[in-house]
Every structure is written in structure tokens, then in C-alpha cells.
Chains A and B, each alone.
Chain A
């Protein structure tokens, strides 16, 4: 759903700073969650269930963003949820990028049967509905952080492979790579030393976008209740719980939703901003 972006071109500027700033804030929140959060995110207190946020009537002092139906502090759960979201973003995004880019480079630069096999695999992968595929994989692997990361890598490597294959093909046709070969460099070392640095900016942009997608996939899987155990604070799980009691306690769903929204928006805007910055035509 995010693949039309290559067609788009906009100005560099403020949004790079805004999105970077929000993500930095999130990293700090994740790192210092135990210091920042006023309560234990797992601590339940049924007498304090569904307390509204601090500016509303009947709020409980110290629970700034209110509590959920089990009396757990919403703010603490959002802060700790940032840890899971960022781990998924970094690890799943990184591994997806590594595997997808490697396959894309090999297919685009080596061509021949390697390209035939990898391109065929990409075609087959594109024929799967991705969300259904990820739900299926979690059913196979069992719930848990590791399963989510594996599912994201297995499904999303094609995003990198498709783009990097095309880039590597274009770079491989240029004179500099031919001269590297004439100068006696071998194929694989040409690929790594000459081609890779030239497709690296594209990889960085795709990686940023992929991190946003990974956060969303984790939220979707928690929402369908296939992610991590329901106790662990995940934004998707919180949204899912909040959806059930939306008419009684809107804050349980709204705060994690806003956090998730801003995070996904930031990753994506950061990616777009970096793309413009790397684009030599615009620079």
C-alpha cells in the first residue's frame, strides 16, 4: 500500500526535523521507561479501573493518561510499549533490509538464472495477501516477539528485493562497473565494492519506511490477538482492548492510537525526507 511513493517528490525541510524529533523522543522514552513511568505497566488494581485522564472529572492523581479496565496505567503501558515497537522496528526492519537487499543485488547484478529464480519468488510472494500471510505465519510459529520478527522478514523482503534489483541492474549497466571488471575485479567484489555504495542511499530510505511498516504489522498482529501475550504492553494490544470499551473509556484506545499514528507518520516522513535529500536531481 506504500509503494507509490517512488513517484512522489516534495521539498526537504521541516518535516525531517519534526519526524526525527518525535522518533528521538520515542527512543528516549523506551530507554528510560522505568525512570519516566509513574507506575508498573503490568500492575493491576481493579478499584482503579477506567480512571479518566488528568484533566477530566474524577481522575486519579498520578495516573496522567488514565487507566484501562484492569486499572493499569495507560501512560506506563505506552512508554513500555515503545520498547517493543522500537525493537520490532529495528530488528525486523534491519533483517528485512539485509536479506531483501542481498537478494535484490544478486538478482540485479548477476542476472542469469539467479535473477530468474529470485524474480519468480518475488512474483509468487506478490500474489499472497500480506496480512493474511503474516497471520498464518504467526499461527505456525506461535505467538511472541521472535515470531513477529520472522513473519515480517519472511513477508517483506520483496519490498527491498524488487527496488534494489532494478537499481543494481541500472548501476551494473554503467561504465564504471564495466571498467572495474576490466581492471580485473571479480564479479562479487565488484558488486560489493562498486555497486553497493551506489544503492546504499536507496536501502537507507527503504529501511526507514520498512521500520514504520514493521511497527504497523506488530500492531495489527496484536490487534488480531496473535502477537505477544496480552499482559505485555503493546500499542496494538492496547488499541484492541480499548476498542472493546470505547464507549465507556475512550482514552484507553485514543492515546496508544495517537502514539502509533505519529510514529508511523514519522518513520514515513523521515524516509521521504531522506529520499529527497539523497536525490541528486533535487540537490
Chain B
């Protein structure tokens, strides 16, 4: 009951946040200098043409009026028309969303693997030079953001030793049999492992750049909790039963040490998704972020709005899911 009440409270508060985001982005982009209409028309267009198109996109009305019309449309699932692409914003945005989701999830998986391995090895080898080395590596990884790691990776594995693709999502000359834009998932379902390998080889560099800072955070926090757990009585008991060090760490200590890391990873995952904007740009990856930057450059107001709102929905949804998982996993909160 308590859980349901707090969940409903969170849901309402999320709704208020999203409305706030919508209002702010709507008003901010409408003070952008530069007229999107005159940019889309050929140089010879008459004033009449401009006025007609301005009216078509509703840009002749006052800003509060425009907002109400737009908000009314959104409630019916209509996010307006993109000015440059002349297609519904929702269609464009949902078309790009799979690419960004796949990239973010791949980055998350890499971060969990790297960070988890660093924490487990560091705990096993605690007090040795290996642990000190892991600490130094973590510190470096944490100090430098994804943008710089991406540039370093481009130099190392795209230029100096070109083993991965550093541009695009898939080799353009390939025949694509896909029905959805979830290329990575679909290539597995269709058992097209040739395509899968090509996609992974394009995604690996951007995903790794996004993953490095998060991996360091996971590594440090999880190692710290693991080492604290290793001193508890029940772990000592497990050891006196004759269990090996690996089993003690993974089967006994890990389940109890993982909770703080889990909450942090949730929040950090939203930062990672925010990072896709610039990383996609760097790697010419056709996702939401890359489209967003183009939309800003082209002054495509309806499209910018749609993308920012979608990002905000993703961020708040991730936070909501994390809170719920935490509540379900933490016995103290479950019985509260």
C-alpha cells in the first residue's frame, strides 16, 4: 500500500517535470533568431508564399497560443510536422529512437562487464599491486568524459590501427532486410550474423566511449561495497565452510553488495543517454542525437521540441524504473 502510494506520488511528480520541460523548451526555441520558413523556401519566394507557409505551421500566432495548440496535439499523439523533412515529428523521432536505444544499451552492457570485472578482480586481489593498478585506471577513466574518450578511440582504433568503423551505423552498400529499425536485435533474430558483425563493428567505438566513465563508476563503487561486505561475519562463515575465494565473492558477497551500485547505475545511465547526442555526432551515427543537432542547425522547431521531450521521457522513465527496482529488491523498503 505504502509502495503504491509512493509510486503514484512519483508518477504525478514525473508528469509535472515533463510539463516543465515542455514549457521551457517551447519558449526557449521560439526566441531563436533565424526564421525557419524563409530558410526552407527558394530565394525567389514572394512575401505571400512566406505568409502562407508561416500560417500553415502556425507560426503566425502568439507563443502561448502556439503552445496550447501544440500541447492539445501532443495529447492526441500529434507532435506536429518537421519543417525540413515535411513528415510527422513522431514518425521521424520513433524512426531514430531504436538506433539510440541500441547504442545506449550496448554501452551499458560494456560498462557493466568492464566495471564488474574491475570490481571483482580488484576485490579478489585486494591489497596487491593489481588492485592499485585498477584504482589508477578507474581514476583516469572517471576524470575524462566520453567526448574525449571518443576522440582518443578514433585516433587509436580508427586511424593509427584501423580495426573498427568510426563512421555510420552500418556499411551503406549492404542490403538491409530489416522490418524495424532495431538493426542489432533484428539481425540476430534473422540469424544474419554477417550483418550483425558489421553493425557491432560500427557501434563498438561509440559504445565503448560512452561506457568508459560509467564502467569506472561501477568498478569503484562495487569494489568498495564488496570489500566492506567481505568483512561481515556471514562471509567469514562461508569461508570457514571451505568455500573458495571466487565463490565467496560472487555467490556470497556480491548479492549483498550490489544494491548501492544498482541505484547509482540508474542515474548514471541517464547521463550516458544524454552523452549519445555528441557521441553520435562524432561517429556520424544515425540516431536521435545526431538528428537533434541537425534540427537545431536547421531551426526545425517542431522537431527540436519532439526530440527534447522524448529525451526527457526516457530520463524520467529510467529513474522511475530504478526507484521501483530498488524498492522491490530492498527488503527493508518492501516491508515498510
Within 8 A of A (CB), among B15-41: 16-18, 20-21, 24-25, 28-29, 31-34
B237 is an interface residue with CB less than 8 A from chain A = no
- Minimum CB–CB distance for B319 against chain A, Å: 8
What are the interface flags for B255-272 relative to A under an 8 Å C-beta threshold, 1 for contact and 0 otherwise? 000001000100110111
B316 is an interface residue with CB less than 8 A from chain A = yes
Majority-rule SS of B interface residues: helix
- Closest B residue to A213 by CB, please name it: B145
A35 is an interface residue with CB less than 8 A from chain B = no
Q: Which residues of A contact B214 (CB under 8 A)?
A: 1
- Minimum CB–CB distance for B265 against chain A, Å: 9
Interface residues on A, range: 35 or more
B199 is an interface residue with CB less than 8 A from chain A = no
Q: Which residues of A contact B159 (CB under 8 A)?
A: 246-247, 250
- Minimum CB–CB distance for B59 against chain A, Å: 16
Q: Is the CB of A139 within 8 A of B296?
A: yes
Q: Is the CB of B155 within 8 A of A1?
A: no
A173 is an interface residue with CB less than 8 A from chain B = no
Complex Cα spacing A1 to B273, Å: 10
A132 is an interface residue with CB less than 8 A from chain B = yes
- Closest B residue to A11 by CB, please name it: B135
Complex Cα spacing A250 to B159, Å: 9
How many pairs of residues, A versus B, come closer than 8 Å at their CB atoms?
159
B142 is an interface residue with CB less than 8 A from chain A = yes
Q: Which residues of B contact A254 (CB under 8 A)?
A: 155
Interface residues of A, Cβ cutoff 8 Å to B: 1-5, 7-10, 120-121, 123-124, 126-133, 135-137, 139-140, 142, 212-213, 216, 219-220, 223-224, 239, 243, 246-247, 250, 253-254, 257, 260-261, 264-265, 268-269, 272
24 A-B residue pairs with Cβ-Cβ distance under 8 Å, sorted by A, are A1-B214, A2-B145, A4-B216, A7-B217, A8-B139, A10-B135, A126-B270, A127-B312, A129-B311, A131-B289, A136-B296, A139-B299, A140-B28, A216-B148, A223-B282, A224-B281, A246-B159, A250-B159, A253-B151, A253-B155, A254-B155, A264-B144, A264-B148, A268-B143
